[in-house]
Amino acid sequence: MMQVISLLVENKPGALLRVTGLLSARGYNIESLTVARTLDPELSRMTIGVDVEERLRAQVIKQMNKLINVLQATDMTDGRSICREMVLLKARTRQESRTALVKEVEIFGARVVDTSTDGFVIEATGDPEKLDEFIGVMRSYGEIEVARSGAVAISLESKKLRLQPPVPTRASGSLAGNGVLNG
Amino acid sequence: MLLECMVQEGVDCFFGYPGGVTLPFYDALYDHPIRHVLVRHEENACFAAEGYARATGKVGVCCATSGPGATNLITGLVDSMMDSIPIVALTGQVHSSLIGSDAFQEADTFGITRSCTKHNYMVKNIGELAQIVHEAFYVAASGRPGPVLVDIPKDVFQAMGHYTPVHSIHLPGYKVFTEGHAGQIRRAAQMIWEAERPMFYAGGGIIAAGASSELQELVELVDAPAVTTLMGLGAMPSGHPNFISMPGMHGSYAANMGLTQADLLIALGVRFDDRVTGRLAAFAPRAKVIHVDIDPAEIGKNRHPDVPIVGDVKRVLQKLNRIVEELKPAEEPRNAAPRRAWMHQVRSWKEEFPLAPVTSDTEIKPQHLMSEIDRVSGGKAIVTSDVGQHQMWAAQLIRFDQPRLWINSGGLGSMGFGLPSAIGAQFARPGSLVISLVGDGGFQMAIPELATIASYGLPVKIVVMNNGYLGMVRQWQDLFYNNRLSSVTLDCFPDAEKLAGAYGFKGRTVSQPHELAAAIDECIAEPGPYLLNVKVSPFENVYPMVPAGGAISEMVMGPPQPAVVK
């Protein structure tokens, strides 16, 4: 079953690799993945859609939470959440079906962002299943080309983000020599 | 600066092999008090660091150059990952400006080691070096310990800078669980007294947490039988009246039947590994489970517990023991009779089916060798081993009365581990008797380290259990592949006396049972290193044995007519 995981990740080199590596090491195929900065530029929000066996889902979340660069991993599949995806769709269509196609675009709440004699570029957002339907409909008008963003999700539940406080080092207390040292 | 960080972290010695990009580091080391042990292969630097860490509980440190040096560390990193051993690995990297250019001795160490470390770092500039190194030590040693690698480009090694003490580490996403949930601990205590057939199942977590005295206290309070896993040997003194033995694939009848019949498992610092549980569905089928582990991902991974407790097992036991004690006067009498009967039952299984050494007049049985090592050790020597038959017989037959005496490659099962880990253990415990008990296969993977032993004059006693085969693989070919022995014969083994002699220390080969005791005594009495090659009967198999995928209650007790005990 498709599991949607939302992760809050430190924006550090290798952080994406750690998350995706954890999935690939277990043989899971990532169906969709989005990453972008959050309000805090040092953090990124990732949304991953991955096909994981039901009984292993909790394990995957636990393993992700163990990653040092991951501040929070949440399974969005069970809780209440909103999930959206965007698609850019290039539709080539014959002259006589142009009007019908635009009508269809309107019905789905999508919009035309570019138009030419060959056809249209259409922008649509919605939940991923809805977009599947839309793409299916567009296909019936002729040849199409599709670029999907992958799902982004946000939870409707208030889950407190627990960050760990700094810890003192062994070195604090004792004072090291202040001479110039090389690496 | 790197060395200053290491001083601050209490490192007194580390293991490594220099190379081109680590030249500036080794130059700084030249007149520095930290001791660097030059091994003969980077893989062994990591194994030696593991031996050091396993013998002390301190972070073991190893160092290698870029490219091949770093890739040679991999087996050791995975090994320490599997057994939760705190390691900091320092690797050199090519000059920052050359990264990604396929430069000489360049490898993507950071990428390669991502999946075989608890965490890894690449240092970009000298300004972040100290912070990263201290973080690495903190991450390696805290929580569930593990290996952390720090990749350092040559220009960072060369750069000059002030060492400014790092006072705090801030890893907002790194959760270290220490205190267990108070309510769950209370529930666990209640459950312990409600059980009629409780059984302790303790593992490497007890050793890592230094919780063996707490474990022993609880076992005595409850007066229930206790098994310790391969990684947990030494957590209970072998002679303790409640200690049974190791459970699992080559565990004892009493341990496996105990787990199968128990109505409560008190699982402490264990991970329900497949080598312990056999077929999971048939493992401890009648038992409720209390599972204490510091790693939340271990809870419910293989077996769903009735009472999960995430925390440092030492801290949890300290609290649990108090509550168990507090409840004892009121609760103990209720099930006293069935519990006494249960303890008696498990003890009588232990007496009826003991793990007893087999001996012969004509050849040295491997079990005979183990009983001889046990005799000279008396439960007190550090014994390191590889993986395979000798490891299993050692785990069955050699007593360990304290934690951190039994050092072996448990989870990964790395051949060639026994000799270099003995080097690390000997450096960590210079005054202790360290016996490197290895097979003839694993020994030949580690022969280069004889030079390290000789050059530092380490009094490691190397005992090779030489059966002329890759014994455990041969055993499986014998039992499950119609004895078609494919590529398991090790028919060439060097003359031990000459080999040791070539390195300047003593060695000897024995093959007759009546010579064995004296040879072992001579080996132990030698002030320096000693290589004792013991030719044992080649076709001995390890029993009891649970076939792969079998239930642990379905042990094969021994040849030739395998008696299946249900």
Both tokens of residue B548? Answer: 């792969």
Within an 8 Å CB–CB cutoff, is residue A15 touching chain B? no
Do B348 and B200 share a structural domain?
yes
Q: In terms of Cα–Cα distance, which of A33, A40, A34, A31 is closest to A11?
A: A40
Within an 8 Å CB–CB cutoff, is residue B301 touching chain A? yes
- Secondary structure, 3-state, chain A: CEEEEEEEEECCCCHHHHHHHHHHHCCCCEEEEEEEECCCCCEEEEEEEEECCHHHHHHHHHHHHHCCCEEEEEECCCCCEEEEEEEEEEEECCHHHHHHHHHHHHHCCCEEEEECCCEEEEEEEECHHHHHHHHHHHHCCCCEEEEECCCEEEECCCCCCCCCCCEECCCCCCCCCCCEEEC
User: What residue of A is the nearest CA neighbor of B160?
Assistant: A182
Q: Is residue B243 part of a domain?
A: yes
Compute the nearest-CA separation of B520 from chain A (Å): 44
CA distance B247 to B395: 10
Among A67, A176, A183, beta carbon nearest to B8? A176
Q: Which of B158, B190, B218 is the last residue of a domain?
A: B158
Q: Is residue B226 part of a domain?
A: yes
Average pLDDT in chain B: 95
Among A25, A66, A172, beta carbon nearest to B168? A172
Going by C-beta distance under 8 Å and a sequence separation of 6 or more, which residues neighbour residue A160? none
Compute the nearest-CA separation of B33 from chain A (Å): 14
Within an 8 Å CB–CB cutoff, is residue B167 touching chain A? yes
User: What residue of B is the nearest CA neighbor of A73?
Assistant: B173
Among A69, A70, A166, beta carbon nearest to B168? A166
Do B376 and B346 share a structural domain?
no
Q: What is the pLDDT of residues B254-264, one digit of tens each?
A: 999 999 999 99
CA distance B65 to B91: 5
User: What residue of B is the nearest CA neighbor of A55?
Assistant: B301
pLDDT band at B562, cuts 50/70/90? Answer: very low
Q: Where are the domains of chain A?
A: 2-78, 82-152
Q: Is residue B136 part of a domain?
A: yes
Active site residues of B: 42, 104-105, 154, 472
Interface ipTM: 0.87
Within an 8 Å CB–CB cutoff, is residue B156 touching chain A? yes
Q: Which of B352, B385, B412 is the last residue of a domain?
A: B352
Q: Indicate the helix (H) or strand (E) that contains B89.
A: strand B87-93
Do B253 and B193 share a structural domain?
yes
Do A2-78 and A82-152 agree at the fold level? yes
Q: What is the pLDDT of residues B88-144, one digit of tens each?
A: 999 999 999 999 999 999 999 999 999 999 999 999 999 999 999 999 999 999 999
Do B526 and B426 share a structural domain?
yes
Do B241 and B98 share a structural domain?
no
Do B374 and B347 share a structural domain?
no
Instruction: Using the predicted structure, report yes or no on whether residue A177 has a pLDDT greater than 50.
Output: no
Give the pLDDT of residue A180.
54
Do B338 and B397 share a structural domain?
no
CB-CB neighbours of B16 under 10 Å: 28
Give the pLDDT of residue B149.
98
User: In terms of residues, how long is chain B?
Assistant: 566
Within an 8 Å CB–CB cutoff, is residue B8 touching chain A? yes
Q: In terms of Cα–Cα distance, which of B505, B401, B413, B492 is closest to B461?
A: B505
CA distance B315 to B209: 9
Instruction: Using the predicted structure, report yes or no on whether residue A174 has a pLDDT greater than 70.
Output: no
Q: Is residue B233 part of a domain?
A: yes
Both tokens of residue B383? Answer: 């014994």
Q: What is the pLDDT of residues B140-196, one digit of tens each?
A: 999 999 999 999 999 999 998 888 888 899 999 999 999 999 999 999 999 999 999
pTM, rounded to two decimals:
0.94
Give the pLDDT of residue B316.
98
Do B241 and B200 share a structural domain?
yes
Q: For chain A, positions 160-179, list CB contacts with chain B under 8 A.
A: 162-172, 174-179
Is B28's CB within 8 Å of A70's CB?
no
Q: Is residue B551 part of a domain?
A: no
User: In terms of residues, how long is chain A?
Assistant: 183
CA distances from B534 to A3, A107, B246, B501 (A): 56, 84, 25, 17
Do B518 and B459 share a structural domain?
yes
Is A180's CB within 8 Å of B162's CB?
yes
Among A167, A174, A182, beta carbon nearest to B138? A167
Do B100 and B242 share a structural domain?
no
Do B115 and B192 share a structural domain?
no
Among A21, A65, A162, beta carbon nearest to B114? A21
CB B105 within 8 A of CB B20: yes
Q: For chain B, positions 26-45, list CB contacts with chain A under 8 A.
A: 28
Is A183's CB within 8 Å of B110's CB?
no
Task: Choose from B12, B142, B163 for mutation: most chain A CBs within 10 A.
Answer: B163
Is A68's CB within 8 Å of B174's CB?
yes
Report DSSP letters for B50-78, one per residue: HHHHHHHSSPEEEEE-TTHHHHTTHHHHH
CA distance B34 to B63: 13
Q: What percent of chain B has pLDDT over 90?
A: 93
CA distance B136 to A154: 33
Is A182's CB within 8 Å of B175's CB?
no
CA distance B292 to B271: 10
Domain that holds residue B371: 366-535
Q: In DSSP terms, which residues pair with B527 in a beta bridge? A: none
Q: Which of B93, B124, B158 is the last residue of a domain?
A: B158
Window from A9-23, B140-154, B502-516 with minimum mean pLDDT: A9-23
Q: Is residue B218 part of a domain?
A: yes
Within an 8 Å CB–CB cutoff, is residue B169 touching chain A? yes
CATH number 3.30.70.260 is the correct assignment for the domain at A2-78:
yes
CA distance B219 to B314: 14
Domain count, chain B: 3
CA distances from B460 to A116, B76, B168, B231, B503 (A): 82, 21, 40, 22, 14
Within an 8 Å CB–CB cutoff, is residue B272 touching chain A? no
Instruction: Using the predicted structure, report yes or no on whether residue B83 has a pLDDT greater than 90.
Output: yes
Instruction: Using the predicted structure, report yes or no on whether residue A173 has a pLDDT greater than 80.
Output: no
CA distance B479 to B75: 29
Q: What is the pLDDT of residues B448-494, one digit of tens each?
A: 999 999 999 999 999 999 999 999 999 999 999 999 999 999 999 99
Residues of B in contact with A63 (CB under 8 A): 297
Give the pLDDT of residue A94.
87
Compute the nearest-CA separation of A124 from chain B (Å): 35
Residues of A in contact with B296 (CB under 8 A): 62, 65-66
Both tokens of residue B70? Answer: 């770093």
Do B150 and B37 share a structural domain?
yes
Both tokens of residue B458? Answer: 């380490």
Q: In terms of Cα–Cα distance, which of B239, B195, B202, B175 is closest to B316?
A: B202
Instruction: Using the predicted structure, report yes or no on whether residue A2 has a pLDDT greater than 60.
Output: yes
Residues of B in contact with A58 (CB under 8 A): 300
Within an 8 Å CB–CB cutoff, is residue B136 touching chain A? no
Q: What percent of chain A has pLDDT over 70?
A: 92
Among A67, A171, A183, beta carbon nearest to B134? A171
The CATH number of whichever domain residue B108 belongs to comes to 3.40.50.970
CA distance B299 to B79: 22
pLDDT band at A181, cuts 50/70/90? Answer: low
Rg (CA), chain A: 23
Q: What is the pLDDT of residues B326-356, one digit of tens each?
A: 999 999 999 999 999 999 999 999 999 998 8
Q: Indicate the helix (H) or strand (E) that contains B441.
A: helix B440-446
Instruction: Using the predicted structure, report yes or no on whether residue A179 has a pLDDT greater than 50.
Output: no
- CATH architecture of the domain A82-152 equals 2-Layer Sandwich (3.30)
pLDDT band at B71, cuts 50/70/90? Answer: very high
Both tokens of residue B268? Answer: 């402490």
CB-CB neighbours of A102 under 10 Å: 17
Compute the nearest-CA separation of B183 from chain A (Å): 21
Both tokens of residue B54? Answer: 């396993």
